[in-house]
Structures are given as C-alpha cells and as structure tokens.
Structure 1
Amino acid sequence: MKKRILLTSFDTWLSDQVSNSSDDLLQKVSQVDSIPHDVKFLRLLPVDVMLASSWVIQKISELQPDYIICCGMAASRQRLSVEMGANQGEIFLATGVNLEKLVSGTVATDISSDCGKFVCEGLYYAVLDYLHQYQLTTRCIFVHVPVLNQENLVSILADFLLIIHNLALA
C-alpha cells in the first residue's frame, strides 16, 4: 500500500537570497517519476513560525499523511541533517522515528541535535506537538538541507530519496 508523505519547504528570508535550498531540493524531488509513494508538497512556507505552522497543520488535517518531512535550509552545513527533535524553552519533543535506521545506507546525511533555534525549530516543535496532542499516528522528521551545488546535488538528492523510502518502510 502506498504511503502518503507530506514534504514541506521554506521560502527565502533574506532580500538577496535567490532561493532556499530546502525548496530547491523539493523541486528536484518533484521531478523524480519513480517514487513509489503518494508524495504531496507544501512548498515555499513563509519564514514565520506561526504562519508556517498553521499552514502545515492545516495541510496535515486535509491530507492525513502517514509521514511528514519538513525541510529547511542550513547554509553552514555541508550534509543533510535529520533532526532528533525540537525545543521550546525547557521542553524537548523527539521524533518518533528511529533515525539510525532511517539514515542507514546514506552517504551525505547526519543525525543532528541542533535544530537551529529559528523558524525551523519552531515549525518542527509545533508539528510534533500537534501530532502528540491529537494522538495521531503520523510520524514527522525535520531535514536541514545545505546549499546545493554541482558537487553535492547528486548525493544529497539520492540520500533524500533513500530517506523517503526508508521512512515509508518504518
């Protein structure tokens, strides 16, 4: 049975930014015909925790996905980073996904405990909290995407597609 997977990305947040690597990656994923899952996209989220969270929660309610992969840009990183969870003050919410198993077989992906203290962490926390409060079986991860270039695009895209595949098998 096909798994329904919601993928999200952010818009740019600086006036001189040409693009956001999280959205660049989802653009590439949208061009792949061989994904054997029901993949839905919510791209170019506003870089605002409240707005982005409400858009994603509304889409979760509408689609009722099996899995959610929220993506954000991490310009200082060189590899994909799958985040263990998100903080809000002293409260930490962890993903319910086995990340070691999830990244098995990847070549350009790390597991991270630093979601960034910006809109990425705010969105991740809001989604995890929503799933927990409403006792939904949907699982969510957050993936930080480095700036994409000719050297890393192939391995980053391959890893991301493998993560989608591994998540659907979880």
Structure 2
Amino acid sequence: MTQVRWWGTGTVALALLVLCSVPPLLDRALGSGGRRLAPGTVVSIGTAQNGVRPVTVTVLRAGWVLSEADTSLTSNAKLLSDDVVFNLSVVVPLSSLDARKLWDGLGRIVAAGGRARLATAPVPVITAHGMTGLTGRIIGRDRAGVAAVFATDTLGATVTAAGPPPAFREAAAEVEAMARTVTVTAP
C-alpha cells in the first residue's frame, strides 16, 4: 500500500489563502491610494484655460478622499467617504445646452448602469453662487443617492452621489450641501 502525502497540497492551499486574504487587508491598512481632502478643499476639473479649470466643488468636511485612480481632472473627479461615492463631471455639449437636456441625458447614463435610475421629476436647485440647476433622487434596489445638473450655454456639470441606503441617509445632507457649492465658469 502507498502512503499519501498531503504536504504539497497543503502548501498550495496555504499559499492561495495568503494570496487571497493579505492584499485586501493591506489595502485597508494602507489606504486605497486616494488622497485625503481637508475641509474647504476646492476640487477643480475641466480643461484648464489660463491655469484655471472651469468646474469646481468644495469639500465641506474631513473624511472625503479623492480617488486618484478614478479621476481625470480634465473630465471628472470621484470623491469617496466610507460607502458613499460623489462624482463630479464636466459636460462639453455639441449643441446648445440647458439643465433639462442635461438631466435627461444623465438619466439615460444612470439607467444604463443597470443598478439605479433617476427619479422622473427633478426640482430646481440654486448653488451658493446663484447658479440654477436641477436636482433629484437616484433610486435603486441597493443604491440611494442624489443627482444634480448645472448648465451654461457652452458648458455643464453633473453630480451623482450614491451609496447603500443606510450610508447615504447619513451623508445626504452633506452631499446635497456639497452639490450646492458647484461652480461652472463657461469659457
């Protein structure tokens, strides 16, 4: 009769366990590679003209992280706070632009993701700088959030912020306040 030796299989299993469990633990311990933002930090996106980017948002409290891997300052910024994701994007239209057209287009983009959709009746919102836009809820089975759009004749900005319903409920007032800090300076 032959003797069965399991040490080779055990070593492979142990190596797989280490390879699968250590990287997520290191990621949590070392951070996700994002950059922590201090309260009052202004995040600017869009194509810079004379050293200034045309779309901005202001971070209102500590705890937000700029996801450097998911941000392209010429087009979008992704901010994270726990399980809530705040996206700010620049919209450069091919023809005239208004907030309603922008809302309808954003609705198609959100729905295409398959996890959520925009509520059908947006309401007007006014930023701290006097810009008028539209805002409404993002709804889904496992997502809750808010969206806002702002448009000038030649440039627009969209905000989407969402997360699991309990996490979003905690952050909702802050997220809505951040959305009201958006500025769009048309070229």
The answer to which structure, 1 or 2, has the higher relative contact order (CA under 8 A, 6+ apart) is 1
Q: Which structure has greater strand proportion?
A: 2
Larger Rg: 2
Q: Which structure has greater helix proportion?
A: 1
